[in-house]
Amino acid sequence: MLPEDKMPEAEVTLRLAISLIENEHVIDDIKVAIDGAQVKTKNTIHFPIIEFLNTQGWVTADNKERWQGKYSNKKYPISIIVHSSSGEGDLVAALKSGRKLRVESKKGTLKRSKASQEYPLIREAIGQLMTVEYAEESDILAVAVPKSEKFDALAEQWRIRPLIKRTGLYIITVGRDNSINGLSEIGI
């Protein structure tokens, strides 16, 4: 079902949403924006979003053929709302702290390769995050990438860079086990 050597962008975003809910960091439904081309183009399915969420315990009462909609899990009072509108970020979540987490996610490899795509992927996500159409002064801005040896090392280095610290930007790594690293300063 999922590629062993890479994590698609939709998977990164959805695993982050699931982790935030499972660990009770949010107070309201999480909004997840996924570009339709990440899911399917013509007859090619790139990421089986409905099946993925179902295997994680998340189901929709909406039309089973349509991947956009509200996904619920009987274990949690909070849902994941999947839509395809742009301009707000890939994930928007109201945190228990009263602040809003706004995230841009990127895909990536899970194993080291000679071609280092991690640098341009994180830089692209930072650029996208800085140009979202909607953001509030109090929003917590973050980039989310797959947890891998290279992404972890790069995230650790970049988290302490002066301009990253000054802007308050967070770099999150997301594991296939729904673990997240990079938000400990805000209690996550």
pLDDT along the chain (188 residues), means of 10: 88 97 97 86 83 94 81 97 90 96 94 82 92 89 96 94 93 96 88
CA distance 72 to 60: 6
pTM recorded for the entire structure: 0.94
Of the chain, the end-to-end C-alpha distance in Å amounts to 29
Q: Which residues contact 174 (CB under 8 A, 6 or more apart)?
A: 7, 12, 15, 16, 19, 105, 144, 145, 146, 147, 180
**Which tokens is 94 given?**
């109201």
pLDDT of residue 15: 98
CA distance 96 to 107: 27
pLDDT of residue 52: 93
Among residues 124, 101, 97, the alpha carbon closest in space to that of 170 is found at 101
**Which tokens is 142 given?**
């973050």
